[in-house]
Each structure stands twice: as structure tokens, then as C-alpha cells.
Amino acid sequence: MKRLIALAAALLATLGTTLVSTPSTAGASTLPAWRDTALTWTNPLARDPRVVDLTYGAHPRYDRVVIHVRGAIPSGHINYARRFFFDGSGERVPIKGRSGLRIDLSPARAHTLAGASLYDGPRIARPRLDTLKALAFTGDFEGHVSFALALTHRADYRVFWLHHPQRLVIDVRHSR
């Protein structure tokens, strides 16, 4: 019975969100289309997601950033930016690129209720991949967790999620 309830809850969580979802077993033909405009999605079932890590890597045609989450994938917004600032302090983030993406997840947190950090990923990294030049964890403030991705050019990107464990995936395309 518990398995049936868990399955029903997972199905409702998938249906209750507007983020384009791709199961981890999906082939490349089912990935979402590349885009070059801002993206906003909602997940009303995300009650207390915790952002715990960020990883990145290079692929032949794109660079990939993966944000690891405990709980449901939070609602979010991604937009292009050239300059980045730390949430709360407003200080400039010391990464640069010709373009970039700002990622804001909400509601989300990267700390325990006692205030200890849960986030084990890089605070600032400079992988210098084909498109992804640098990245930064820019905030865990007032129910928002945010990141900045500095890019070599204004790259098309796509967003989807994977399950078990929960991960938000952002691919940024190499030059056309």
C-alpha cells in the first residue's frame, strides 16, 4: 500500500508542474528544444526543496550543469545576464563572460533550519569548458537559491529534470 501511495504521489507531482520533465531513461530525441529566451516554471508541490550540490561537465555539443536537490524540484526562473551579484549583500560576483545565465530557484534553501550549510558544490568554479567559462553559487537568501553561469557567448540552452535522485539539468550549447 505504501508503494502505491508513493507512486500516486510521484504521478501527481509530475502532472502538477509546468516544467518540461524528461525521465532519466529518456533518449536524446525526447529532450526539450534549445531556447534563447528566459524561462520560468512552477512546481506548486515543492514545499521544502533543499539544494545540496552542483556538478558540471563537457559533452561534444554542449556543456552541462546539474543542480542536485533533495525533495521536489523547486519553481524557478532562468534569464540571460552579463553581470552577477550575490543575493543579500549585492556584492559583485567575480566571474565574467560575454554572456551568462542567472538561475533562481524558489522556494528553496541550501541550509538546515539551524542555519548550517547543506550545499556541497562549488562556490565559484572556472572550468573553462567550450561554452561554460565560470559559475558561482550566488545565494541562499529568503527562500531563494541562485546561481550564475558565465558563458563565452550568448548560448542557447535547455532545461529538464531527472529523478532518483532529483536533479535539475541545464545544458548550454556550444557555438553553432
Q: Looking at residue 25, what is its pLDDT? A: 34
Q: Looking at residue 3, what is its pLDDT? A: 43
Q: Looking at residue 29, what is its pLDDT? A: 61
Please indicate, yes or no, if residue 29 is contained in any of the structural domains. no
Residue 151 has pLDDT above 70, yes or no: yes
Range of 91's domain? 2-21+34-173
Distance CA 176, CA 160 (A): 21
Host H or E run for residue 6: helix 2-15
Percent of the chain with pLDDT over 70: 83
Residue 15 has pLDDT above 50, yes or no: no
Residue 6 has pLDDT above 50, yes or no: no
Please indicate, yes or no, if residue 26 is contained in any of the structural domains. no
Burial 69-107 (b: 16+ CB within 10 A, else e): bebbbbbbbbeeeeebbbbeeeeebebebebbbbbbbbe
Please indicate, yes or no, if residue 47 is contained in any of the structural domains. yes
Q: Looking at residue 165, what is its pLDDT? A: 95
Q: Looking at residue 176, what is its pLDDT? A: 64
Q: What is the mean pLDDT of the chain?
A: 87
- The per-residue pLDDT for range 48-86, each reduced to its tens digit, is 999 999 999 999 999 999 999 999 999 999 999 999 999
Distance CA 57, CA 66 (A): 9
Residue with cell 561537465: 57
Please indicate, yes or no, if residue 82 is contained in any of the structural domains. yes
Please indicate, yes or no, if residue 28 is contained in any of the structural domains. no
Please indicate, yes or no, if residue 115 is contained in any of the structural domains. yes
- Residue 131: CATH number of its domain: 2.60.40.3500
Q: Where residue 23 falls among pLDDT bands split at 50, 70, 90? A: very low
Q: Where residue 173 falls among pLDDT bands split at 50, 70, 90? A: very high
Helix or strand or coil: residue 55? strand
Please indicate, yes or no, if residue 149 is contained in any of the structural domains. yes
What pTM did the predictor assign?
0.84
Please indicate, yes or no, if residue 160 is contained in any of the structural domains. yes
Q: Looking at residue 38, what is its pLDDT? A: 98
Q: Looking at residue 16, what is its pLDDT? A: 38
Q: Looking at residue 88, what is its pLDDT? A: 87
Domain count of the fold of the chain: 1
Residue 95 has pLDDT above 70, yes or no: yes
Distance CA 139, CA 136 (A): 9
